[in-house]
Amino acid sequence: MTEPTPVPNDAGGVSAGTAGSTHADDRHTDGTPARYAGRDSAANGRTAGDRAGDTVTTSTSPAETDERPDADTPPEPDTADAEAAAPARTEADVAIRALWQEFATEPSQRTRDRLVLHYAPLVKYVAGRVGTGLPTHVDVADLIQSGIFGLVDAIEKFDPDRGLRFETYAMQRIRGAILDDLRSQDWVPRVVRSRAREVQRTLERLGARLGRTPTDAEVAAELGISLAELRELYGQLRLTSVVALEALVAEGKESESVVESLPDDDAVDPAAVLVDRDNRKQLADAISQLNERDRIVVSLYYFESLTLAEIGKVLGVTESRVSQLHTRAVLRLRAKLQEGAAG
């Protein structure tokens, strides 16, 4: 009996099916009992491969698989997580497609609001990108508010049947709405803004080339204009050189609020309040130490705002006598206050 020749497969091994079938046919032709001719091709192929020099084992018999129940390796964690997250993503995509179909067939504010809520993070992302190159006084919240209008406009004008991704289309509409709102708030014409950028680039280019600050004549020559036209252009560019008051006041300081740097004329000085309260207490103590007539004169003159003649009528004395009593009371009060200050 001639031994079958192993047929190399793509991997350089033996083609088990070819070897097995050839070997089975030879055994059957030579009169081998039929019970051996009925073996499966996988077992015959393995036998042929072993007899051909154990070139390669291309299949495993069912018996070997049953004898090794632990041969199956569990899936890796990353693969399991991906498989678990796939149904959630699929459900979300199906829900969004259903919303788009509902909005296309019967547009309603409820459906539009649900789409706006779903794509709202897109507005925050675009506003953050646009706000990167803007001055610090521009609030990102204002940009987001403008971007919401662009998102609503994109939802109302988007056609899902065209096969385009809504995110790509909406980002352009959101960015355009934000830029339009910024331009509407700018009092400087766009031509002046363009000239300002041109002058700024020219100054930077000449500074790098000359290694110093360029003169007006050099800038005018680089721009191709006269010196008088350059000075006129500088006058127009003054409109673009606007600095926030808070940024100017807070330069080099820890405080960033201009309110904290402005004086309040109506504010009460705590130190002055304490001094006034102490003076009043000392004066009250000094008045309490005067005799009765002197206290009456001081009270009527300073607290009741009566004249000396009116005080004389109250006390039943002449005006000159009231004047003497007043002078005596003032001298005594001054002496007592000086004693209190010295003590």
Domains of the chain: 1-60 (no CATH), 89-185 (1.10.1740.10), 188-240 (1.20.140.160), 284-342 (1.10.10.10)
Q: Tell me what percent of the residues of the chain surpass a pLDDT of 90.
A: 18
pLDDT of res. 68: 41
62-79 per-position pLDDT tens digit = 334 344 444 344 444 455
d(CA 135, CA 142): 13
Task: Find the range with the poorest average confidence among 58-72, 137-151, 243-257, 302-316.
Answer: 58-72
pLDDT of res. 234: 87
pLDDT above 90 (res 152): yes
pLDDT above 80 (res 253): no
Please state the rounded mean pLDDT for residues 97-115: 86
Question: Phi then psi for 8, rounded to 5 degrees?
Answer: -65, 135
pLDDT above 50 (res 114): yes
d(CA 150, CA 80): 39
Residue that wins the pLDDT comparison between 243 and 210: 210
Residue that wins the pLDDT comparison between 174 and 160: 174
Residue type present at position 11: A
